[in-house]
A and B are shown apart, each in its own frame.
Chain A
Amino acid sequence: MRWKIFAGLVLIVVIACLAISVGAFRRSTVAPDLEAQLTPERMAELAPRGRELALAGDCFGCHSKAEGPIGAGGQPIGTPFGTIYSSNITPDMAHGIGGMSRLEFHRVIRDGIGRDGQNLYPAMPYMFTQITTPEDIDALYAYLMTLPPVNMEPPANTGIFQFPVRWGMNFWALLNFPERHAPNDPSRGEAWNRGAYLVEGLGHCGACHTPMNFMMGYEFDRSLQGAVIEGLEAPPLTSAALTSRGFDVGTLTDFLATGIAPQGTSFGGMHTVTHFSTSAMERKDVEAIATYLLTGPDGKVPPPAPPPAPLPVASGELAPGRVTYVSVCSGCHGVDGEGIPNVAPAMRGNSTLALADPLNLLSVIVNGVPTQSFTGNQRMYAMPPFAHRLEDEDIAELASWLRAEWGGQATPVTAAQVSAIERAVD
């Protein structure tokens, strides 16, 4: 009798696993009435709107290699389990989405399901894009079909992704693909609602700024509370966090639209975002994003905090860091931390110094930053890596002094924290 119960349980588990693996629990939020193709006139009408949405989604940030061609994919996306190469989203019939139907495209954006019903890996941020309205997905589709088709096949995925494991995503999705909806609060006004739609959806800000669980699924209950990705901290984007860094709607909009603000310049993955996405968007959409992010739970945008006052450490144990700053850094960043336009960002008021975790500051000192260009022919000259020019102890003292002087952070940085930084150079 007992073995019958046991066998029955095993059978149920096996059937459940089979059912999950074939996607029996995958729902679709795509309306079935999308079989009809859009007319060429409707496609032409929608394409400009789709362009703005594609920019907001930074589609080309992943679906193009830095050197182009645009939309042809092939950009490597590293994961602990192997490398995924982004797909070709130009309307090429052989390697792109030229043969993809409107319905299939909707399923990609909303369901994370590719052509022939195959699961997409969550490198495609469908957990976010699922909230996009059907009209906007039509517009994206219409725009992408206007791109020059590129007959280029992305390289094959590596690691575990070279094997037929897409069915396994059904298990992942069961646990990590909650149904989400665009925040909608008529009392908050048009800008907030537009910003919410872009941030939580196509903009997929949370793909970097929301912490992940061990399955690399997003912890949406800690949405936009900051995370570490590719060796850098994607700082929290909550209203409290942003206003404590001195952002208001104007400066945050400027930062997104140009990559440059009194709080510093974009670097790392965020430079890709400001460079390809937010700097090319319409200003009112960028302002909407800033409005949504800065609005607190009470529906108001708090006033920005003033830059932190220097802590009284200049003559204390942190003084060696100041000597290092003046002798190594001040030539570009200024004796008073004022920076040089188009050469080096200011340190005074730079909110990277004010983050509780010194990770980003240390990573920049250790690994440097390549020459970057910004909106309006602005640029920042390359910062050299100091991994081999300064001892870890010197960097720790330097970082401690910088944080105390301009970041309001009293906790000293240790040499162990410096040596723990991933080195981009040997």
Chain B
Amino acid sequence: MIEKLPLSLTINGVAVGPVDVPLGMPMIDFLHDYMNLTGSRFGCGQGICHACTVMEIAEDGTSTETRTCIYDAHYFNGKKIVTIEGHATKKPDGEVVLTPIQQAFIDNFSFQCGYCTPGFVTGATVFLEQLQRTPVRRAELEDAITAALDVHICRCTGYVRYYEAIRDVALATPGCVVD
């Protein structure tokens, strides 16, 4: 018999649950199969490629990046998360408004196959939020981008364009860089 436990959480601002979910079901399966949120990508399944990450929002509003292939759905019980579907907003007339990072990735032709992109959007968004809390010197920005996004793997090797896009947004966003 599959052992199920009730799960409640907030996804993209919407309260979900309680819903009975098998113990041992990876979060990405819950997002795909229960929530029909299929934007987060299942890549390596071992927590290495970071294509599957979502933003975990703490009570103080700060975000961290969390992998959904290695954490069970029940790890997120009671938490607030933002999946790739929750980044862009819609105007009342239905027009989609991308976040600066999403727009910069398009402007820089950052992705090719796009499989890793949800993870990069998540990672870059968390990074920019951190920069606004704790800005870095201009001379240290490149190293900070590398350190923050280093764990994300792009098999098309589009790293340079991701990197340039993130740098552009960091430089264009007030409060991210000092000097």
Hey, which bits of chain A sit against chain B, CB under 8 A? 323, 326-328, 330-332, 335, 340, 343, 381
Contact of B74 among A327, A335, A381 (CB under 8 A): A327
B47 contacts A323, C-beta separation under 8 Å: no
B23 contacts A331, C-beta separation under 8 Å: no
- Asked if B134 is at the interface of the complex by the 8 Å CB criterion, the answer is no
- Asked if B114 is at the interface of the complex by the 8 Å CB criterion, the answer is no
A335 contacts B24, C-beta separation under 8 Å: yes
The answer for the CA separation of A109 and B6 in the assembled complex, in Å, is 64
A332 contacts B74, C-beta separation under 8 Å: no
B46 contacts A327, C-beta separation under 8 Å: no
Would A323 and B23 be within 8 Å (CB), given that A332-B47, A340-B46 are in contact?
A: yes
B48 contacts A331, C-beta separation under 8 Å: no
A343 contacts B47, C-beta separation under 8 Å: yes
The answer for the CA separation of A237 and B48 in the assembled complex, in Å, is 34
Contact of B72 among A326, A340, A381 (CB under 8 A): A326
Instruction: Give B15-33 as 1s and 0s: 1 = Cβ < 8 Å from A's Cβ atoms.
Output: 0000000011010000000
> How many whole Å from A340's CB to the nearest CB in chain B?
6
A328 contacts B48, C-beta separation under 8 Å: no
In the complex, 28 of the A-B residue pairs with CB atoms within 8 angstroms, ordered by the A residue number, are A326-B23, A326-B24, A326-B72, A326-B74, A327-B23, A327-B24, A327-B73, A327-B74, A327-B75, A327-B77, A328-B72, A328-B75, A330-B24, A330-B72, A331-B26, A331-B47, A331-B69, A331-B70, A331-B71, A331-B72, A332-B46, A332-B47, A332-B70, A335-B24, A340-B46, A343-B46, A343-B47, A381-B46
Q: Which residues of A contact B69 (CB under 8 A)?
A: 331
- 8 Å CB contacts to A: which residues of B61-85? 69-75, 77
Q: Which residues of A contact B26 (CB under 8 A)?
A: 331
**Could you tell me the dominant secondary structure of chain A's interface residues?**
helix
> How many whole Å from B64's CB to the nearest CB in chain A?
8
The answer for the CA separation of A326 and B72 in the assembled complex, in Å, is 7
B24 contacts A328, C-beta separation under 8 Å: no
B47 contacts A328, C-beta separation under 8 Å: no
- Asked if B5 is at the interface of the complex by the 8 Å CB criterion, the answer is yes
Chain A: CB-nearest residue to B69: A331
**In the complex, how many residues of chain B place their beta carbon closer than 8 angstroms to a beta carbon of chain A?**
15
Chain B: CB-nearest residue to A335: B24
The answer for the CA separation of A9 and B62 in the assembled complex, in Å, is 70
Chain A: CB-nearest residue to B22: A326
Contact of A323 among B70, B71, B74 (CB under 8 A): B74
Most chain B CB within a 10 A radius of its CB, from A323, A327, A332, A381: A327
Q: Which residues of B contact A343 (CB under 8 A)?
A: 46-48
The answer for the CA separation of A330 and B23 in the assembled complex, in Å, is 11
Q: Which residues of A contact B73 (CB under 8 A)?
A: 327
Would A381 and B48 be within 8 Å (CB), given that A327-B23, A327-B75, A328-B72 are in contact?
A: yes
> How many whole Å from A350's CB to the nearest CB in chain B?
18
Q: Which residues of A contact B46 (CB under 8 A)?
A: 332, 340, 343, 381
Q: Which residues of A contact B70 (CB under 8 A)?
A: 331-332
Q: Which residues of B contact A335 (CB under 8 A)?
A: 24
The answer for the CA separation of A335 and B22 in the assembled complex, in Å, is 13
Chain B: CB-nearest residue to A322: B23
Q: Which residues of A contact B48 (CB under 8 A)?
A: 343, 381
Chain A: CB-nearest residue to B44: A343
The answer for the CA separation of A41 and B52 in the assembled complex, in Å, is 61
Most chain A CB within a 10 A radius of its CB, from B5, B69, B70, B73: B70
> How many whole Å from B69's CB to the nearest CB in chain A?
7
A327 contacts B71, C-beta separation under 8 Å: yes
The 4 closest A-B pairs by CB, nearest first: A331-B70, A327-B72, A327-B74, A327-B75
Q: Which residues of B contact A326 (CB under 8 A)?
A: 23-24, 72, 74
Please give 10 more A-B residue pairs, beta carbons under 8 A apart, in addition to A323-B23, A326-B74, A343-B48. Answer: A323-B74, A326-B72, A327-B24, A327-B74, A331-B69, A332-B46, A340-B46, A343-B47, A381-B47, A381-B48
The answer for the CA separation of A381 and B44 in the assembled complex, in Å, is 13
Would A328 and B23 be within 8 Å (CB), given that A323-B5, A381-B46 are in contact?
A: no
The answer for the CA separation of A327 and B23 in the assembled complex, in Å, is 7
The answer for the CA separation of A332 and B26 in the assembled complex, in Å, is 11
Q: Which residues of A contact B24 (CB under 8 A)?
A: 326-327, 330, 335
The answer for the CA separation of A343 and B67 in the assembled complex, in Å, is 15
The answer for the CA separation of A343 and B72 in the assembled complex, in Å, is 17
The answer for the CA separation of A326 and B4 in the assembled complex, in Å, is 12
Most chain A CB within a 10 A radius of its CB, from B23, B26, B69: B23
